[in-house]
Amino acid sequence: MIIGGGLQVLFYLLILFLAEKSIEWIHLLGLCFGIGSGFYWLSVNVLSVDLTNQENRTWFNGVNGLFGSLSQMIGPFMAGILVSKLPNLTGYKVIFMLSLLLFIVTIVLSMLLPVIRLKNRFQWKKMYQVNRNKEWRQLTYAFMGLAFRDGVLSFVILLWVFVVTSSEAIVGNFAFLTTLLSVITYYVVGKFTKNTSQKWLLVIGNIGLSAAIFSLIIDVNWFVLLIYGIISAICIPLFEVPFNTMSLNNIANLDENGLTRVELVTSREIALSAGRITSVGLLVIVYSSLQSELLLQYFLGVVIVVGMTPLLFIRRMKEVRN
């Protein structure tokens, strides 16, 4: 975690140092941020398995999502104000300086976490062997389908809001409204969800989000984007909390007395990355085409279909288990 946070601090230092020349070093910056994120999230996910259990994981994922949404709510809102009020690129520089300070605080706080030493070295062979487990393999497919959908939607929606409105302030207000709804939903789901209701939350969340994406096929305007933002802000937590709980439970159950949890988490992250890279790559191809508007509608249709597949793979996983 400390290495990952340190590399992300370096990323923001480079952004501040290079300023307008950052675009010339885009590959180096991407490499630095990507490696840093890999180290950071691997350690966070392993600690999430080690420090939680089946009794409190739904509550943990609810609280985790709540605080994640709070940061996503405050961050874009403040960024929109800073960019619109400060001249030239001053607002962007202030944003990167604040991000740098936050990552430094993260590194300091991470030193207070308990040190849990690995019982053996990471083994690629063991990670491949894990994927032979039929139950885990179905869950891996679900990770890929989920990441294929979320990999695009995580950034393109805010981009479309900016393109349609041409206002950083409106983007900030949009992010504030939608994440406020997510905060409330994460709290309610984390506090009141029982194991018997998780199945229905997965179904409702997935179908609701798919319906919201379908509205974007009809037209991409400010009203449609606002409706999508409201629906997705409610449906994403409905799906993510029980899904993440199920994911952590499976990692804990398949872990061989602490010997394979890192390999399991790595396998999960590879599946998620494969889904994200595929969807973002396809989106780049769509926008590179001369018929991008027509292809975008087909692409969103594919996103809906692939985004629904986790429900199928979760059902197959339970059939294998039984």
Q: What pLDDT, on the 0 to 100 scale, is given for residue 94?
A: 82
Q: What pLDDT, on the 0 to 100 scale, is given for residue 148?
A: 94
C-alpha distances out from residue 207 to 64, 165, 228, 309, Å: 23, 28, 13, 11
Tokens found for residue 256: 């061989």
Tokens found for residue 248: 């952590």
Per-residue burial over 228-260, b if 16 or more Cβ lie within 10 Å, else e, is bbebbbbbbbbbbbbbbbbbbbbbbebbeeeeb
Contact criterion met (CB below 8 Å) for 135 and 250: yes
CA gap 16, 31 in Å, rounded:
17
Pinpoint the alpha helices (H) of 22-123: 26-50, 57-85, 90-110
Q: What pLDDT, on the 0 to 100 scale, is given for residue 132?
A: 84
Non-local (6+) Cβ contacts of 316 within 8 A are: 138
Along the 322 residues of the chain, how does pLDDT read in single tens digits?
778 878 877 887 887 777 778 788 888 888 888 898 888 888 888 888 888 888 888 888 888 888 888 877 777 777 777 777 777 777 777 887 887 788 788 778 877 777 666 666 777 787 888 888 888 999 999 999 999 998 888 778 888 998 898 887 788 788 888 888 998 999 888 887 776 678 889 999 999 999 999 999 888 899 999 999 999 999 999 999 999 988 888 888 887 666 788 888 889 999 999 999 999 999 889 888 867 778 888 999 999 999 999 999 999 888 877 6
Q: What does DSSP assign to residue 279?
A: H
Pinpoint the alpha helices (H) of 86-197: 90-110, 124-130, 134-165, 168-192
CA gap 31, 172 in Å, rounded:
27
Q: What pLDDT, on the 0 to 100 scale, is given for residue 118?
A: 66
Three-state DSSP state, 195: helix
Written as one letter, the residue type at 103 is F
Shortest CA distance to 176 belongs to which of 100, 99, 71, 102? 71
Report the topology of domain 52-112+127-314: Growth Hormone; Chain: A; (1.20.1250)
Written as one letter, the residue type at 113 is L
Q: What pLDDT, on the 0 to 100 scale, is given for residue 214?
A: 93
Which residue matches tokens 């997965």? Answer: 202
Q: Say how many Å lie between the first and final Cα of the chain, rounded.
A: 37
